[in-house]
Amino acid sequence: MRVLTQIHAHILTHPNLPLSTLSFGLSKVLCFAAYRNVHYAKTLLSQIPYPTIFCYNTVMRGFLSQNPSPEPIFLFKKLVQRKFPLSNTFTLAFVLKCCSILPAFDEGKQMHKHVIASGLGKNLFVRTSLLNFYTKCEEAELARKVFDEMSERNVVAWSAMIGGYAKMGMVNEALGLFREMQKSGIEPDGVTMVSVISACAMAGALDLGKWLHTFIDKKRIKNDLEVSTALVNMYAKCGWIQKAKEVFEAMPVKDAKAWSSMIVGFAIHGLAREALETFAEMGKAKVEPNHVTLIGVLSACAHGGLVAEGRKYWSIMLESGIEPSMEHYGCMVDLFCRTNQIEEAHEFINNMPIPPNPAIWRTLFVSCKKNKMLHKGEIVANHLFQLEPHNPENYILLSSLYASASDWVKMSSVRRQMKERGMKAIPGCSSIEINGHVHEFVMGSWSHPEAKDIREVLSEVSGRVQAIGHEPWIAAVLQNVGDGEKRDALWEHSERLAIAYGLLKTKAPVVIRVVKNLRVCVDCHEVTKSISRLYNREIIVRDRIRFHRFVDGECSCQDFW
């Protein structure tokens, strides 16, 4: 930069240079400066008498290589105002990339219009940038429309669409598109594989994930750091933590992301000691932890009820200079709440330097409900209603608090408010993978093609569970109905439908693996323990909080979740 500034000064001290020569010289300085000091390059751009589109593109790319910044959008607006010829595909792609990073949806939509007006709408590079923009903004329909209109699709386009589906939680669509990609003859690369493996992780589709791992080895796709980390994450989130550890230990090089994936994996499986030991090994390997690493460590302490350790690692994080994020604060609140230190959790929240988000208040509320602290629960509920007045989950929580205290009048009042405001509760949904296909079940829904057979399995299971003395925990049904209706409602919970389907379609020793969108209720937890013993089956349930591994009537969480 010192030499560049000297050249810049030399050019400016020769005022008699022809404008074309001046423009050429400053443009060359700008090109080099953009990679070292983009703000200096932007100043240079304003001094060039006749800047080319290449100069603008270079500065845009310089901003894109640094922290998220709207500067490329501002530069493009200047081009439009000056009626600069917009015939460069790089310009459009850079601005669209900026819109996707921020994200800036309205500006990106306007860029789409410029793409059409420029006549470059069919350019593969530009259309892929458009596709990437819509997927990053989680606009599935618009992204798919761009994808379907592409006359030519390269591996980048396929990867962008598959990755977009995975990010938006549209797992079946992601996996279906991957199958289409294979049929089209396009060979996937590492980026594609990371996207599809991530989709398997979200869906808990272990069989397909294992097949993808084999596919990578068979096709000799470069199993680099990112692919290996994705595999660690997938195996952990699909419930096979030992395989995740095996892949992790085989990695020749491990960065902070890889270490963090393993630590988080141990944490969500309730293996707190293993998570903390891995964190210690990370320190010995001299790899600097990042904010995700500490989320995993603090989460492990919360799942293990390790209060002293949690406090210690919180202090270590502060001393290391990592600024706590909302997720870190959330882990500490979770730790206090899980160990029934409600007052300390509340005090911790009140002393936070940043306003607590709804998730943190909900964690405290659930703990208030668990400990039957009605008055404090109402106080916390008021905070939630102020932050999220239209979120039905908050009303459901307050309703459940009143129901747990048998205050049916207040419970009915909350339910009535929900109805008047058009709010509906998010239904419990569980999925299970059978022969590479993910089957979804919704609480109380019998729309599955094999519903009749599933009912028969549930009837048999119910009879066997009751025969060994199980008493349904009807308090889990938060409705003012008779006990018989409550018992029936419990047997329609989504995870029971999925487990029944697993019993119907598989035989021991195949593990039944279920993914649920909500927290497992107490009665389902007890029933699943009984099923594992009665049917001699290993059952792994991933709920919104963590993993539960049921074997011979016991759960890995030791009833602490």
Given 425, 451, 477, the domain boundary residue is 425
Given 356, 382, 401, the domain boundary residue is 356
Going by the DSSP 8-state scheme, the letter that residue 270 receives in this structure is: T
Range of the domain at 282: 273-356
Question: What type of residue is 222?
Answer: K
The pLDDT score that the predictor gives to residue 203 is 85
Going by the DSSP 8-state scheme, the letter that residue 514 receives in this structure is: E
Per-residue pLDDT tens digits for 502-555 = 999 999 999 999 999 999 999 999 999 999 999 999 999 999 989 999 999 999
**115-119, 326-330, 440-444, 453-457: lowest mean pLDDT where?**
115-119
369 within some domain: yes
Q: Are residues 350 and 369 in the same domain?
A: no
Strand residue runs (E) in 212-361: none
Question: Exposed/middle/buried for 422, CB within 10 Å: 0-12, 13-18, 19+?
Answer: exposed
Per-residue pLDDT tens digits for 10-42 = 888 887 888 888 888 899 888 888 888 999 999
Q: Are residues 465 and 413 in the same domain?
A: no
Q: What is the pLDDT confidence band of residue 132, given thresholds at 50, 70 and 90?
A: very high
Going by the DSSP 8-state scheme, the letter that residue 476 receives in this structure is: G
Tell me the average pLDDT across 418-442.
91
Q: Are residues 453 and 549 in the same domain?
A: yes
What CA–CA distance (Å, rounded) separates 512 from 27?
Answer: 63
Given 253, 282, 314, the domain boundary residue is 253
Q: Are residues 450 and 550 in the same domain?
A: yes
Q: What is the pLDDT confidence band of residue 68, given thresholds at 50, 70 and 90?
A: confident
Per-residue pLDDT tens digits for 277-294 = 999 999 999 999 999 999
Q: Are residues 410 and 471 in the same domain?
A: no
Question: What type of residue is 290?
Answer: N
**36-40, 259-263, 472-476, 494-498: lowest mean pLDDT where?**
472-476
Per-residue pLDDT tens digits for 249-279 = 999 999 999 999 999 999 999 999 999 999 9
Pairing of strands 512-516, 539-542: parallel
Question: 506 by DSSP, 3-state: which?
Answer: coil
Q: Are residues 467 and 526 in the same domain?
A: yes
Q: Which of 177, 133, 176, 122 is nearest to 155 (CA)?
A: 177
The pLDDT score that the predictor gives to residue 19 is 84
Q: Are residues 352 and 398 in the same domain?
A: no
Phi-psi region of 552 (alpha: psi -120 to 50; beta: other; left: phi over 0): left
What CA–CA distance (Å, rounded) separates 311 from 292?
Answer: 17
Task: Specify whether the CB–CB gap between 4 and 11 falls below 8 A.
Answer: no
Residues 6+ apart with CB under 8 A from 168: 135, 138, 140
9 within some domain: no
Tell me the average pLDDT across 409-432.
91
Would the pLDDT of 71 be above 60?
A: yes
Beta bridge partners of 135: none
Tally of domains within the chain: 4
Q: Are residues 447 and 549 in the same domain?
A: yes
Give the CA distances from residue 192 to residues 187, 207, 212, 330, 418, in Å, rounded to whole numbers and listed in that order.
9, 18, 11, 33, 43
| Token pair in block for residue 89 | 């595909």
Gyration radius of the chain over CA positions: 28
The pLDDT score that the predictor gives to residue 480 is 59
Would the pLDDT of 481 be above 70?
A: no
The pLDDT score that the predictor gives to residue 473 is 78
User: How many residues are there in the chain?
Assistant: 561
Task: Specify whether the CB–CB gap between 218 and 250 falls below 8 A.
Answer: no
| Token pair in block for residue 412 | 């009915």
71 within some domain: no
Per-residue pLDDT tens digits for 305-356 = 999 999 999 999 999 888 999 999 999 999 999 999 999 999 999 999 999 9
Tell me the average pLDDT across 122-131.
94
Task: Specify whether the CB–CB gap between 503 and 461 falls below 8 A.
Answer: yes
Predicted TM-score (pTM) of the model is 0.79
Sheet holding 429-434, edge to edge: 437-442, 429-434, 512-516, 539-542, 547-551, 554-555
278 within some domain: yes
203 within some domain: yes
Residue 127: in which H helix or E strand, if any? Answer: helix 124-136
238 within some domain: yes
Tell me the average pLDDT across 488-498.
94
Long-range pairs of 516-519 with CB within 8 A, sequence gap ≥ 24: 516/428, 516/429, 516/430, 516/541, 516/542, 516/543, 516/544, 517/426, 517/428, 517/429, 517/430, 517/544, 518/426, 518/428, 518/429, 518/543, 518/544, 519/543, 519/544, 519/545, 519/561
Tell me the average pLDDT across 179-191.
92
321 within some domain: yes
Q: Are residues 382 and 445 in the same domain?
A: no
Q: What is the DSSP string of 411-466?
A: HHHHHHHHHHTT--PPPPEEEEEETTEEEEEETT---STTHHHHHHHHHHHHHHHH
For the chain, helix, strand, coil in percent to 5 are 65, 5, 30
Going by the DSSP 8-state scheme, the letter that residue 474 receives in this structure is: G
131 within some domain: no
Task: Specify whether the CB–CB gap between 238 and 205 falls below 8 A.
Answer: yes
Q: Are residues 225 and 245 in the same domain?
A: yes
What CA–CA distance (Å, rounded) separates 365 from 356?
Answer: 13
Q: Are residues 408 and 467 in the same domain?
A: no
CA atoms within 13 A on the CB side of 196: 25
Q: What are phi and psi of 18, to 5 degrees?
A: -55, 145
Q: Are residues 343 and 371 in the same domain?
A: no
